[in-house]
Structure 1
Amino acid sequence: MRAGLIGAALCLMMWGQAALAGTVLVVGDSISAAFGLDTRQGWAALLEKRLADEGFSHRVVNASISGDTSAGGAARLPRLLAEHKPDVVILELGGNDGLRGQPPAQLQQNLATMIDLSRDSGAKVLLLGMLLPPNYGVRYTTAFANVYKNLAEEKQVAFVPFFLEGVGGVRGMMQTDGIHPALKAQPVLLENAWPALEPLL
């Protein structure tokens, strides 16, 4: 009888711990998909280890796809929210929109939709901002950068102005293509995101 009660208590404890465990959903492009690297070496994988080291029970679901755009992310998000029921959604999209010269207004609309969908599902949102190289022209690069700033202010979401700070354009931090972060850059990306993410957990 006593053994049965102990077993039941242990089951309840394990159930309670599972119920308390949260989910962080990363919706991004090649930067978060660790293009050119083993995915276990990417910043999202390092995030899962950091969470465990810091005493958080959250799991990380990395739903990033290389080459994805904000439109692609917005189309995929409803299914991801329904499937994973995340507590926090990290949005790392827009770089491919910019590289393809798509209208900043469309990027802003897509990201706004993703923020609203995430919040409607009960999740908190972290928006990771991007900047474009200067060769795209001052007018376009400024409008592109303002998308993230404006959304952060309008939607009052956690925000990292430039996710590639200390990585983009830094010697040794990028792969040979000059577009994707190298292995040594992955911990830097995590450090860029962590201060804004931690309060959401």
Structure 2
Amino acid sequence: MGKVLKFSYFLVLILLASCKSETKKEKETEVIQETDSTNSKAVNTTNKVMLFYGNSLTAGYGLDDEKEAFPYLIQQKLDSMGLDYTVINSGLSGETTSGGKNRLDWVLSQQVEVFVLELGANDGLRGIPITETKSNLQAIIIGVKQKNPQAKIVLAGMQIPPNMGQAYTSAFKNVFYELAEENEVYLIPFLLKNVGGIPELNQEDGIHPTAEGQKIVADNVWNVLKDIVKLEDSIN
């Protein structure tokens, strides 16, 4: 079964493993060790990788337990179906599309079967020009396709409050639809559907979902992912 990894552990340990001499057989069945506060658990990297690339929404900002974040909940769904996926949570609080573009090469050091792109919300809250946000997201999509041509890319749509004016708000929402169509990638229409703007499902800041809100977010994501993993499973 899969095991969610925080990408920082994943990359460092791959680099350490690559410095050691291995037999051909060992290289074909490489096992990475993830160390947390309690113990070390082996993760077989022959599992297919599903990488969540985002900001604090992906990282699970403000939750008591990082396993309450939606990528971890997706891992549980995959495990319950007996699907051999390892979910990597590469969410970084405060990340913008510009920052995401700059660190992309670092996270694409291994083959990825499914790449979930969840960036843009911080751009919108800061009023970054729509053209810049779209350009950065486009660059990320191109980068993923170049490094992992076989990867299924899922773009998480986002909406923002009308603070920046109706024209900006509408253009921001439409960017995700435009990119999904232009690049022929999968789209989650609105990541925070049935969560955004609902006080009881968000933390005190009114932005980040509670544990209960994260469950709904996971359902929104799974509505798109379920067909992708079924397709991958049928191919293999």
In structure 2, the partner of 1:117 is: 143
- Per-residue Cα deviation, 1:142-200 (whole angstroms, up to 9, x for no partner): 11011101001100100011100000001311101111111111110111011211222
In structure 2, the partner of 1:88 is: 114
Shift in alpha-carbon separation, 1:198–1:120, aligned structure 2, 3 A: farther
Q: How far apart, CA to CA, are the structure 2 residues paired with 1:40 and 1:189?
A: 14
Which of 158, 163, 167 aligns to 2:191? It is: 163
Answer whether contact 1:118 1:124 (CA < 8 A) is retained: no
Partner of 1:32, secondary structure, is helix
1:56 maps to a residue whose letter is L
Partner of 1:63, secondary structure, is strand
- Number of equivalences: 188
Runs of 4+ residues deviating >6 angstroms: none
Q: How far did 1:75 drift?
A: 0.9
In structure 2, the partner of 1:174 is: 202
Q: How far did 1:135 drift?
A: 2.4
Partner of 1:125, secondary structure, is strand
Q: How far did 1:136 drift?
A: 2.1
Is 1:105 the counterpart of 2:122? The answer is: no
In structure 1, the partner of 2:211 is: 183
Q: If each structure's strand is expressed as a fraction of its own residues, which one has the higher value? A: 2
Answer whether contact 1:25 1:61 (CA < 8 A) is retained: yes
* CA RMSD after TM alignment: 1.9
Q: How far did 1:20 drift?
A: 5.3
The answer to which structure, 1 or 2, has the higher relative contact order (CA under 8 A, 6+ apart) is 1
Partner of 1:163, secondary structure, is coil
Q: How far apart, CA to CA, are the structure 2 residues paired with 1:199 and 1:80?
A: 25
Partner of 1:172, secondary structure, is helix
1:121 maps to a residue whose letter is K
Q: How far apart, CA to CA, are the structure 2 residues paired with 1:132 and 1:171?
A: 15
Q: If each structure's helix is expressed as a fraction of its own residues, which one has the higher value? A: 1
Per the normalisation by structure 1, the TM-score is: 0.88
Answer whether contact 1:31 1:180 (CA < 8 A) is retained: yes
- Per-residue Cα deviation, 1:26-73 (whole angstroms, up to 9, x for no partner): 110011111001211111111111111122100011111000001111
Is 1:58 the counterpart of 2:85? The answer is: yes
Per the normalisation by structure 2, the TM-score is: 0.75
Equivalent residues in 2 for 1:15-164, closer than 5 Å: 15=29, 21-37=47-63, 38-82=65-109, 84-122=110-148, 123-164=151-192
